[in-house]
Amino acid sequence: MRLHFHGHACFEIEGDEGRILIDPFLSGNPCATVKPEDFTHLDGILVTHGHDDHLGDAIELSKQTGAPIICVFELAHYCKSQGAKTHAMHIGGKHQFPFGLVKLTQALHGSGIISPDGEMIYGGLACGFLIQMEGKWLYYAGDTGLFGDMELIGRRYPIEVAMLPIGDNFVMGVEEAVHASQLLRPKVVIPMHYNTFPVIAQDVGEFLHLLQRRVPESQGKALKPGDLYEV
Ligand code: NI
Ligand code: MN
């Protein structure tokens, strides 16, 4: 399968059974290399939480492609009210979609949605995703702080690729993301959610260096917006 990084925390994953987009923050993303209009076919749009830099263009993309937004119940309710197609789930639950299996994991983060008129709408809990495609497990942590149950996730699922935030301030920083890798024990770690804005500027080289030193069994792979990674 192919992982296509579109900047910030947006990944497009294309497998034998379908194509999905995760946290499609494209309009207003200073490092995105694609536009929402570029997507004509999608089988699922996975959204971790209601913040702008994750919900992004999900609603428009759902209307444009007919793909369901896959997210927690509360956020799904909002997306549906805005005319999107949705598939509501919740943390701990899994569902087999035509493109692959999706399981929602916990994330330590908020999920308020800012409505078009500036009101804060309740979006439920933020989540992460375990995704199984072509028999391989991917872990997309979403926006989260470090939590000890990452060890449980690592013990229960042989993770091929873990996508972890390293930007600090809103999410884990470099140190915590290295510790998270230790708990998750994935073959490959792709850092995300850094350098999009000044407040989340990070030295990705430092992350890769620390990872190599402390978690030699996991390989760090930093992708630039637009990069493709074959799993
Ligand atoms: Ni967030
Ligand atoms: Mn974020």
DSSP calls for 83-112: T--EEEE-TT-EEEETTEEEEEEE-SS---
Q: How confident is the model at residue 34 (pLDDT cuts 50, 70, 90)?
A: very high
pLDDT at 74: 98
22-36: average pLDDT = 95
pLDDT single digits (tens) 128-141: 999 999 999 999 99
Rounded to an integer, what distance in angstroms lies between the CA atom of residue 44 and that of residue 67?
A: 5
**22 and 99 co-located in one domain:** yes
195 falls within a domain: yes
Report the CATH number at residue 77: 3.60.15.10
Whole-angstrom distance, CA of residue 203 vs CA of residue 205: 5
In this model, does residue 116 exceed pLDDT 90? Answer: no
How many angstroms separate the alpha carbon of residue 196 from the centre of ligand 2? 10
For the ranges 28-32, 81-85, 157-161, which has the lowest average pLDDT? 28-32
Q: Which of 91, 45, 33 is nearest to 223 (CA)?
A: 33
Å from CA of 140 to ligand 2 middle: 13
Among 82, 105, 129, give the residue marking a domain's end. Answer: 129
Alpha carbon of 16 to ligand 1 centroid (Å) = 30
- How far does the centroid of ligand 1 lie from the alpha carbon of residue 42, in Å? 23
Classified as helix, coil or strand, 135 is coil
Looking at the structure, do residues 26 and 114 belong to the same domain, yes or no? yes
Could you say which of 129, 162, 178 is where a domain stops? 129
221 band by pLDDT with thresholds 50, 70 and 90:
very high
Split into its structural domains, the chain has a count of: 2
Q: Note residues around ion ligand 2 (Cβ under 5 angstroms).
A: 53, 143
Average pLDDT, the chain: 98
d(CA 1, CA 117): 40
Q: Which domain holds residue 37?
A: 7-129
Q: Give me the residues paired with residue 174 across strands.
A: none
Contact 172, 180 (CB under 8 A): yes
Q: Identify which of 116, 111, 91 has the alpha carbon closest to the alpha carbon of residue 103.
A: 91
The pLDDT confidence band at residue 5, using thresholds 50, 70 and 90, is very high
Q: Are residues 123 and 185 in the same domain?
A: no
